[in-house]
């Protein structure tokens, strides 16, 4: 722990050079300490979520943010055509990407009034929520089936364990002293 302490020669003085030197020493101490701390090990059995679940969750978050902005801001503020067009244009990339992925054809989104745009975003949000829940449920059932099959395979490979698990017998262990 002694090597992590500040050196004797770096004493506090009010000029900027010594403050920078002190700051650099503090940073190096933190780097040394973080290198000595144990790191979290990766879980080798952890599988990445499917791309569709991640995508729909991200889009749900983005759509809810848009809806929240539309609800919090006063709708008459968008009565000006330029402001309405500018706002819808700023959200157009999110909406068109999602519409393309869901095969929803909504022509000329930029010409919608702000109330029509808000209703369109609500409908998209509901569709995305349903798709997310469906994909998430399918993923979870697939994972459950995978682990049940894995457990079944382990039991089929070890017939004695099957008999012990069916009869609720404890595994016999012998201790020698």
pLDDT tens digits for 107-120? 888 888 888 888 99
Distance CA 105, CA 96 (A): 9
pLDDT digits (tens, 9 = 90+) for 60-118: 999 999 988 888 776 666 677 888 888 888 888 999 999 898 898 888 888 888 888 88
Q: Which residue has 């990407």 as its token pair? A: 97
Percent of the chain whose pLDDT exceeds 70: 76
- Per the confidence metrics, is the pTM higher than 0.85? no
Q: Name the token pair of 16.
A: 């900027």
Distance CA 117, CA 97 (A): 16
CA angle 67, 56, 90 (to 5 degrees): 45
Q: Is 93 left (phi over 0), alpha (psi -120 to 50) or beta?
A: alpha
């Amino acid at each position: 722990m002694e090597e992590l302490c500040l050196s004797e020669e770096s004493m506090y003085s009010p000029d900027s050079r010594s403050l920078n030197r002190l700051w650099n020493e503090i940073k190096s101490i933190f780097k040394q300490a973080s290198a000595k701390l144990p790191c979290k090990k990766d879980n080798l059995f952890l599988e990445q979520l499917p791309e569709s679940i991640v995508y729909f969750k991200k889009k749900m978050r983005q759509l809810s943010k848009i809806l929240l902005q539309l609800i919090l801001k006063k709708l008459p503020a968008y009565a000006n055509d330029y402001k309405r067009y500018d706002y819808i244009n700023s959200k157009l990339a999110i909406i068109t990407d999602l519409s393309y992925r869901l095969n929803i054809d909504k022509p000329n989104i930029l010409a919608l009034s702000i109330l029509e745009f808000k209703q369109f975003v609500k409908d998209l949000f509901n569709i995305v929520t349903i798709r997310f829940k469906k994909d998430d449920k399918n993923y979870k059932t697939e994972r459950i089936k995978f682990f049940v099959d894995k457990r079944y395979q382990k039991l089929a490979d070890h017939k004695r364990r099957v008999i012990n698990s069916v009869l609720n017998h404890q595994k016999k262990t012998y201790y020698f002293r």
